[in-house]
Each structure stands twice: as C-alpha cells, then as structure tokens.
A = this chain, B = another copy of it.
Amino acid sequence: MKQSSPVNKQGQTEQQFLQAYDASQFDRPSVTVDMLVFTVSDEEEKNYRKLSPKSLNILLVKRGDHPFMGQWALPGGFVSPSESLEEAARRELRTETNLDNIYLEQLYTWGEVDRDPRTRVISTSYMALVNSEALEVIAGDDADEAEWFQLEDKWLRETKTATPDGSITEKWIELHLRHEDVELSATIKVTKTVTGRSVRETREIVEANQIAFDHAQIIQYALERLRNKIEYTDIAFALMPELFTLTELQQVYEVILGKELLAAAFRRKVADKVIETNQYRKNAGHRPSKYFRFNPEWMDQA
C-alpha cells in the first residue's frame, strides 16, 4: 500500500528519511503503567448464621526509595522499549500477583507536568479485576511489599457556584484505605465546570495521607469508573470465582455501588447472565443456596 518512490521537500525517499530520522530531537517524557488491581473479599463474621460481609480491596505496594519513601503507591513501572503499553501492564500484573489472563482495561493516562518529582512522567493506568479466591497469591516481589487494602470512599460535601455562562460544581470525596493496622486516607476534590454546552471535569488532591504521588486521585477515578461500568457491563463476573451464589454476586454489586439492592429485581436482571448448577452451598444455618456460573453465551442476544 505504501509507496516509497515520492520524495519530500528535502528530496528524501521514505527509506532515506527513516534512516536519517533523529529520534532524540524531542524532549521525551518517561512513560509508566500503574495498575489498579481490585478484588472483593469476605470479612470475618462470628455469627455462624449470618453471611460474611464483603469489602472492596485494592493492591498497593510500599515504596522502598525516594520519593515518597515508606508511603504506599499503586504497583507499576516503566514501559520498556520492546513492549506495548498493554504488555507492560500484563507484565506488572504478573510480577505482582502471579495471575495471568485476567480482566484488564485501560483507564486513563495522567499527564500533568509535575506529577512526579523526579522527572516528567506520563502514566497510563490500567484496571485489573481478580476474583477473591486468588487473593492470597501475591508474589513475594523482591523489593516491594504488596498488600491488599480495604477501600472505602465517603461523600463529604458539594458546592455549586453560578458563572456568567454556566456553573462550577465542586465535590469533596474522602478515601479510606485500611490494611491491618495501617490506615491511609485522602481527600479529592472533583470539579465539574459547565460552560455553555460543554462540560469539563478535573480532579485535585486536597490532602493525601501516606499515599504516594497523585495515586489517591487515580484510585478515586478508578472507583468511579468501576461503579459506572458495573451497571452496564458484566465486569462483576471477573470478580467472582468459578461458582458463586446469587447472593454473593449481589453483595459484590452492593459493595461496589455502596448501596443495597432488592433481591427480587437483582435476580431478574442477572437471570440471563448466569447458568444454574445443581450444587448447593451447605452448612450455613439456613436454607442452602444454589451455585451458579457465568453464562458466556448471554451476549449473543445483545
């Protein structure tokens, strides 16, 4: 398809041009990938009859070097010249979790000039979802200690200001991350600016407690995206083990959405997306629940 005969203004053919091309003529930023690895796990419950509540967890690593030494950050690293962005993301995922073939989705690319004090770093964030059974499988990565942090967000307050041709809405959101006795927190301000017919959204870290770089705002963004996507896609199943009960599935939706759902409506909605098995979960002090599995055929109608 490509012709190599025509010459440019310098009289070069394409081949000559490529040989003479000086790749270092532009100042180049560093490029990294950051991984947002989510899972939903059981918390302990003493009453044998009650169901164990679920929590949403995210994987963080403790920084062993400057900057932000001792603070917690998203796992990730530099993209090597020989791998694509997604390959880099999968490589990072493998070294942190030993897991392969996992739901992975590119989230956003963060390109503020001063987001890393070392040098200009542009970072593409990927969201990965792993099922709770894989929870223990964190690789004992040489340098960093990686841990699952229980993640919660809290709506703090919202202000709306009128402008000549629109409005500005500011929303403060608090993040809480907990692992055993380690507690991290951050406050993010999300600003939505309406001007005429166009809307613009920006994020800003108001305060970050032991969370490195701009990672608190990346986590907040990812949580919002996860919340949106669980409503109109099937990513929830990527968080489930092979067999699950409908109540477990509902709990996953509830912990991500941060609200309770009605069982009847929920079951109707997922009915086509799951396949009944003839196995039951027993020993629970109440009526046993049937196990289901994901129905990969259900998309054919849609």
Q: Could you tell me which A residues sit within 8 Å of B by CB distance? A: 1-2, 6, 8-9, 12-14, 17-18, 21, 23, 26-31, 64-70, 78-86, 88, 101-104, 106, 108-113, 117-120, 122, 124, 129, 131, 166-167, 194-200, 207-209, 232, 234, 237-238, 240, 242, 294, 296, 299
Asked if residues B2 and A78 are in contact (CB atoms below 8 Å), the reply is no
Nearest CB in chain B: distance from A301 CB, A: 13
Q: Is the CB of B31 within 8 A of A102?
A: no
A86 to B104, CA, bound (A): 24
From B66, B68, B166, B237, give the contact of A12 (CB < 8 A): B66
* Interface pairs (8), CB distance under 8 Å: A2-B67, A8-B69, A29-B79, A31-B111, A85-B110, A85-B111, A86-B111, A106-B108
Chain B residue contacts of A81, Cβ below 8 A: 27, 29, 113, 120
A30, A83, A166, A238: residue with the most chain B Cβ atoms closer than 10 Å: A30
A13 to B66, CA, bound (A): 8
CA of A268 to CA of B86, assembled, Å: 43
B117 and A18 contacting across the interface, CB-CB below 8 Å: yes
* In the complex, the 3 A-B pairs of residues with the closest C-beta atoms, listed nearest first: A85-B111, A17-B66, A23-B119
Residue of B nearest to A228 (CB): B232
**A267 vs B106: C-alpha distance when bound (angstroms):** 36
Whether B80 contacts A109 by the Cβ 8 Å rule is no
Q: Contact between A66 and B8 (Cβ–Cβ < 8 Å)?
A: yes
